[in-house]
Structures are given as structure tokens and as C-alpha cells.
Amino acid sequence: MVDNPAGMRVLATELVKRVNDETRRIRLAEQRLDRFEADMQSLENTIASQTAEFKAQLESISKGIKSLSDKLTLLENAVGRIEKELAKRATKGEMKQMESYMSLMSPITSKFVTKEEMERAIEDRMSKKY
């Protein structure tokens, strides 16, 4: 040890200075660690809230897709029923054919002959043959 009180004082001062310097470094490290922990906590909270929001949005989208799927199924069923009904109906060509048959049988557009006109026509033909 040092026998000299002045040397002891210098040594004590140097030790106090070193202890104070190490204490300051430890305090700075603790402050950085505290900030890091606070940042991590903030990041964890943000991630948790965003995850909850994404889950809610995903659920909403899922419900929308389910609703659209249900509506599409209903539309497909309706189209199937309409196709069956249309298969039972007459086509355009069939309607034209029916129209021509009807016009042949229509008393308004057809020309009918009376009994006397028919007898005269028969007589005319018979007289032309002989």
C-alpha cells in the first residue's frame, strides 16, 4: 500500500473517477436498454393491433365471398330453370311454320267459293274436256 497520504488521495481520486465513469457507462447502457424495450413493446402492440385489423378485414372479405358464392349458386339455379322452360317453348322457326299454317287456314285471308261458283267451275272444266 501507499504510505504517503497524498498518494492515497490521488489513488482514491482516481478510483472514484473510474467508478463514476463506469457508473455513467452502466447508466447509459441501462437507458439504451430501456429505450430498446419500450420500442419493442410499441412494435409488439402495433403488430398485435394490425393483426387484429387484418383478421377483421379477412373475415369481412370471407363473408363477402360467401355471399357472392351463394348469390352465384342462386343465379346458376335460376338459369337452369330458365333453360328448361325455354326448351319447352317453340323456336322461332317453329313459330314461323305455325304462322304459315294459320294463314292457310284463316278465313279472313283465304278465299272460299260458293256452291254455285264451284258448280260453274266444274261445268266449265267438263265442257273444255269434251
Determine the pLDDT at residue 109. Answer: 63
Mean pLDDT of the chain: 89
Kindly state whether residue 57 falls inside one of the protein's structural domains.
Answer: yes
Kindly state whether residue 96 falls inside one of the protein's structural domains.
Answer: no
Q: Which helix (H) or strand (E) holds 79?
A: helix 5-88
Q: Which structural domain range is residue 59 located in?
A: 1-63
pLDDT tens for each residue of 57-100:
999 999 999 999 999 999 999 999 999 988 888 888 888 888 88
Residue 130 has pLDDT above 70, yes or no: no
Q: What is the reported pTM?
A: 0.48
The three grid cell numbers given for residue 3, joined into one nine-digit string? 504510505
pLDDT tens for each residue of 24-53:
999 999 999 999 999 999 999 999 999 999
Picking from 113, 117, 122, 115, the residue whose alpha carbon sits closest to that of residue 130 is 122
Kindly state whether residue 56 falls inside one of the protein's structural domains.
Answer: yes
Kindly state whether residue 50 falls inside one of the protein's structural domains.
Answer: yes
How many Å apart are CA 116 and CA 111, to the nearest integer?
15
